[in-house]
Amino acid sequence: MPPPVFRFAPSPNGYLHLGHAYSALLNADLAQAGGGRLLLRIEDIDATRCRPEYEAAIYQDLAWLGIVWEPEVRRQSDHLDLYRDAVAQLTARGLVYPAFESRAEITRLVADKEAVAPWPRDPDGAPLYPGVGKQLSAAQRAEQIESGAPYALRLDMAAARALVGELTWAELGEGPAGETGTVAARPEAWGDVVIARKETPTSYHLSVVIDDALQGITEVVRGADLFWATSVHRLLQALLGLPAPVYRHHSLLRDAEGRKLSKSSAATGLRELRANGVTPQQIRNMVGLAPAA
Ligand code: GLU
């Protein structure tokens, strides 16, 4: 049996905090315990928020924690052409359409709809796409694109769903309501998700499934906040003919007030803790992991 392959995949849009330390250390511990490999991926497709100094800090902080990853780091911004090809493939199959409403217009459309009746929301609480992109004719789309209008490329969820039928994934961890074992994917709960944008030829969902497949990841270990995103990942894997890893979603660390940790909070930032003399061993203790072997 080939060794299991794990990955830690942070976005360099801020400094790492205790929650990242937990996720990274858990990946490293599981890789070590199972005789597996640990890969590192930098998820930097959002050029407006990602910065080289955050990427440099990720390497420093992980090394300080004692985490050892394979030398070849995959940086998503180096592979935009690959994601572009996948979008072209989905577009050629009629599964993707451009939607031209701005974020402000979408908010207004949802408010109009909610004035009449409740409007469905995705598992993260954001309203489903309420716009008319799917109804536009080929000529209308071409005209808008030629005019230079910004757009998002959205997945036609109904068409995609009809192509692949029922999907499940193997969950070794736990979802927000304790879901575990074989979980039924519900990608339709996300509506027509954004797959790429005019200025960014990909999205988190698309890049993550392509990279997990190309890096040969067998076990995805990440926070439970991404549990239901796995539905979209399973759908994209099925559409693009990519293998499905097994998933292990772990609980999220919370601050004293019960809030999710944030990249901007000094109280839980790894750099601040290090500057205050906290040791990597104490970090393991703080996140509830047994001392390193
Ligand atoms: N880049 C994502 C984050 O920093 C994690 C993606 C994943 O593990 O699938 O939240």
The pLDDT, as a whole number, for residue 165 is 86
Q: Report the separation in Å between the CA atom of 288 and the middle of ligand 1, taken as the mean of its atom positions.
A: 21
Which residue of 26, 226, 237, 248 sits with most ligand 1 atoms within 8 Å of its CB, as the best mutation to test the pocket?
226
The pTM score is 0.96
Other beta carbons within 10 Å of 221? 25
The pLDDT, as a whole number, for residue 257 is 83
Other beta carbons within 10 Å of 175? 16
Which ligand 1 atom is at minimum distance from the Cα of 212? 9
Which residue of 7, 41, 208, 253 sits with most ligand 1 atoms within 8 Å of its CB, as the best mutation to test the pocket?
208
Positive or negative torsion for Cα 249, 210, 99, 192: negative
Query: pLDDT below 70 — which residues of the chain?
Result: none
The pLDDT, as a whole number, for residue 292 is 84
The pLDDT, as a whole number, for residue 5 is 98
Using the structure block, give the residue that is written with the tokens 């499934």: 209
The pLDDT, as a whole number, for residue 1 is 84
64 membership: H or E segment, kind and range: helix 52-65
The pLDDT, as a whole number, for residue 255 is 82
The pLDDT, as a whole number, for residue 129 is 98
Q: Report the separation in Å between the CA atom of 187 and the middle of ligand 1, taken as the mean of its atom positions.
A: 18
Tell me the sheet residues that pair with 5. Answer: 37
Cα 107 to Cα 9, 112, 120, 191: the distances in Å are 31, 9, 13, 16
β-pairing, 219-223 with 168-171? Answer: unpaired
- As for ligand 1, residues whose beta carbon falls within 6 Å of it are 9-11, 43, 208, 222, 226
Which residue of 43, 210, 211, 217 sits with most ligand 1 atoms within 8 Å of its CB, as the best mutation to test the pocket?
43
Q: Report the separation in Å between the CA atom of 14 and the middle of ligand 1, taken as the mean of its atom positions.
A: 13
Which ligand 1 atom is at minimum distance from the Cα of 225? 10
Which ligand 1 atom is at minimum distance from the Cα of 23? 8
Contacting residues for 179 by C-beta, under 8 A, at least 6 apart: 171, 227
Q: Report the separation in Å between the CA atom of 137 and the middle of ligand 1, taken as the mean of its atom positions.
A: 36
Which ligand 1 atom is at minimum distance from the Cα of 208? 9
pLDDT digits (tens, 9 = 90+) for 72-126: 999 999 999 999 999 999 999 999 999 999 999 999 999 999 999 999 999 999 9
The pLDDT, as a whole number, for residue 264 is 73
**DSSP conformational letter for 2:** P
